[in-house]
Amino acid sequence: MPFSPAFNPATDHTRLGGLFYDVVTPAEFPRHILRYRNNRAAVTVGLDTLTDAEWVQHFGRFAPLPGSLEHPLALRYHGHQFQQYNPDLGDGRGFLFAQLRDRRGRLLDLGTKGSGRTPWSRGGDGRLTLKGGVREILAAAMLEALGVETSRAFSLIETGEDLERGDEPSPTRSSVLVRLGHSHIRIGTFQRLAANGETQAIAQLVEYVLETYYPELSVPEGGSGAQVLFDAVCRNVARVGTQWMAAGFVHGVLNTDNIAITGESFDYGPWRFLPRFDPSFTAAYFDQTGLYAYGRQPQALLWNLARLAECLLEFSSHKDLTDALARFPALYETELDAAWCRRLGVIQDNPESDRALRHAVTLFMETSGIPFHCLPFDWYGGGASRERALAGPRGDIYKDAAFNEARTQLEARTPIPGLSLDHPYFTGGLPCDMLITTVETLWTSLSEQDDWQMLDRKLAEIDLMADALRTRPMEA
């Protein structure tokens, strides 16, 4: 049986109508070598029972999933790239392939990257490098394991073409990626309608997004749906931003077309994880001014939210929209406290002590230069990890007076429920990282030895971490 009973196809996006997308044809590839199938994600949408051949048929040749979209849809959007408005955007190498619902009834997209040219490709080839595909798998897996609300990499198929790229030794191998995520509607989707003066379509999109992605929200009598939506987007975007910060993640390209209306983190290009706590650390080599540096991510998100507010001016009051923007910094700070408690494996206490803990720990991380991923590993659960931290390889750093304040804060904290410091991840003594050196070493073994077990091993290591951190306990 190819589809499990959990498979629940949907076509919701077509309700929006042709103004929002173009029907496109997938590229035909010379080869289809299945490199990655995310079975854990597939279980959640009833696609785990596909054979590999069926999988390739759907996620490499894009045979429609029965009951879902009949044709791929390249989505239309504009956006600000590095704060410059660019109307020449849209799905230029991807499309919405299918929609489905998970067991809780939430709508999910299967969107592609590298599936061929579209009306929005302009000069581009519509393709994704194999390295780009592998990097998206690694980023999504690591972020998910660190508790970040992120899209999942669902499938990666190598496609047998030679690609020319300025930022990779070329020719370089090609791939097609499918990601599973909560919406590919972006801030840029609204911006395009606003730029074209399509006021009615903005109203339609607001209603669609509220109904589809925010069913728990209600619009008060005489209130503005756009405002309710905007408040919710601000909350979700603030939350995901803080999750990145606590994960030590630099997205790299925080353009308005890369910000989903659900706030879910997605689209992983030149991302990096921080080696050390450094607000000026920049991921993308083409980000010369550091606009999207680690410490500037919250400002970038707020700037993007202001661009969304501009699209909603016809549907809410200027004051209500700017009030929502003005609440962002405080909202962000509160969420950041929560994100750091989570990152350190301790339960939240009260606003003052949570703030004090976060300040002490991040100040120490910044001034000491300790590897970013090490301190949360060593002190996971706070005081419960005291013996382990002090006896471990960084014990001397933690015995230094410079650590006193952070140590006092950590030792006062209660670990998250279910934490086991006997877990093999902790007893193994090696924190899992996704530093650029790790990524490049992995890529070298994939590309030079074609050793794909290396990728499996890294993903298993990430799973072990997720289990230990209790961000995603393994099913018994």
- Specify binding-site residues for ATP: 90, 92-93, 113, 125-126, 179, 186, 267
Helices (H) and strands (E) in the chain, counts: 16, 13
Which position among 159, 212, 258, 297 is part of the footprint of ligand AMP (CB under 6 A)?
A: 258
In the bound state with ligand AMP, the residue whose beta carbon lies nearer, of 87 and 351, is 87
> Which residues are known binding-site members for Mg(2+)?
258, 267
Q: Can 422 be counted among the known catalytic residues?
A: no
Q: Is 136 in the site for ligand AMP (CB under 6 A)?
A: no
Separation of alpha carbons 324 and 327, rounded Å:
5
The answer to whether 243 and 251 are in contact (CB under 8 A) is: no
Q: Is 111 in the site for ligand AMP (CB under 6 A)?
A: no
Beta carbons within 10 angstroms of residue 127's beta carbon = 24
Residue closest to 185 by CA, chosen among 224, 235, 151, 218: 151
Which position among 9, 269, 295, 395 is part of the footprint of ligand AMP (CB under 6 A)?
A: 269
Separation of alpha carbons 320 and 153, rounded Å:
37
Q: Which two tokens stand for residue 255?
A: 């353009």
| Element housing 406 (H / E) | helix 404-411
In the bound state with ligand AMP, the residue whose beta carbon lies nearer, of 80 and 127, is 127
Q: Is 121 in the site for ligand AMP (CB under 6 A)?
A: yes
**3-state SS assignment for residue 273:** strand
Which position among 16, 56, 75, 89 is part of the footprint of ligand AMP (CB under 6 A)?
A: 89
Q: Is 140 in the site for ligand AMP (CB under 6 A)?
A: no
Candidate ranges 117-125, 211-219, 231-239, 429-437; the one touching ligand AMP (CB under 6 A): 117-125
Which position among 127, 131, 192, 388 is part of the footprint of ligand AMP (CB under 6 A)?
A: 127
Q: Is 176 in the site for ligand AMP (CB under 6 A)?
A: no
Name the residues that contact Mg ion, by CB under 5 A.
Answer: 258, 267
Q: Which of 48, 91, 231, 257 is catalytic?
A: 257
Asked whether the bond before 9 is cis by omega within 30 degrees of 0, the reply is no
Q: Is 96 in the site for ligand AMP (CB under 6 A)?
A: no
**Least CB distance from residue 398 to ligand AMP, whole Å?**
41
User: Which entry of Mg ion, ligand AMP, none binds 121, CB below 5 to 8 A by partner kind?
Assistant: ligand AMP
Only one residue has tokens 């803990």, namely 357
Which position among 134, 206, 226, 253 is part of the footprint of ligand AMP (CB under 6 A)?
A: 253
φ and ψ at 18, to 5 degrees?
A: -65, -10
Size of the site for ligand AMP (CB under 6 A): 15
Which position among 48, 91, 144, 158 is part of the footprint of ligand AMP (CB under 6 A)?
A: 91
Residue closest to 357 by CA, chosen among 332, 377, 382, 331: 382
Residue closest to 472 by CA, chosen among 413, 435, 418: 418
- What is the DSSP secondary-structure string of 21-64? EEE--PPPPS--EEEEE-HHHHHHTT-TT--HHHHHHHHTS-PP
In the bound state with ligand AMP, the residue whose beta carbon lies nearer, of 255 and 385, is 255
The binding site for ligand AMP (CB under 6 A) comprises: 89-93, 120-121, 124-127, 253, 258, 267, 269
Active site residues: 257
